[in-house]
């Protein structure tokens, strides 16, 4: 997961879910742990995800990435 977060394009929630077979809350929990206990500067932003909701509206997602050192 850390390698995916280090990529220039970061990683989207759905991409992490597909890769690891995890649920959304598990991804959020691990990101929180990596920030607090792992000391990683992980940033995030809400964005449009892949696909649509059942009502046809765009699915919202979160993009995560490790911020480059200052």
Q: What is the rounded distance in angstroms from the CA atom of residue 15 to the CA atom of residue 67? A: 19
Domain that holds residue 55: 2-66
Q: What is the rounded distance in angstroms from the CA atom of residue 38 to the CA atom of residue 59? A: 30
Structural domains in the chain (count): 1
pLDDT for res 65: 97
- Model pLDDT for residues 10-66, shown as the tens digit of each residue: 999 999 999 999 999 999 999 999 999 999 999 999 988 777 888 988 888 999 999
Is pLDDT at 68 greater than 90 in this prediction?
no
Helix, strand, or coil here: 53?
A: coil
Look up the pTM and report it. Answer: 0.83
pLDDT for res 8: 92
Residue in 43, 42, 45 with CA at minimum distance from that of residue 34: 42
Burial classification of residue 44, based on how many CB atoms lie within 10 Å of its CB (0-12 exposed, 13-18 middle, 19 or more buried): middle
CB 43 within 8 A of CB 19: no
Pairwise pLDDT comparison (68 vs 12), residue with the higher score: 12
């Amino acid at each position: 997961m850390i390698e995916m977060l280090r990529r220039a394009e970061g990683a989207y929630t759905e991409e992490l879910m597909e890769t690891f077979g995890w649920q959304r809350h598990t991804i959020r929990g691990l990101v929180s742990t990596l920030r607090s206990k792992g000391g990683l500067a992980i940033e995030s932003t809400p964005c449009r995800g892949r696909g649509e909701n059942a009502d046809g509206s765009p699915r919202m997602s979160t993009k995560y990435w490790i911020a480059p050192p200052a």
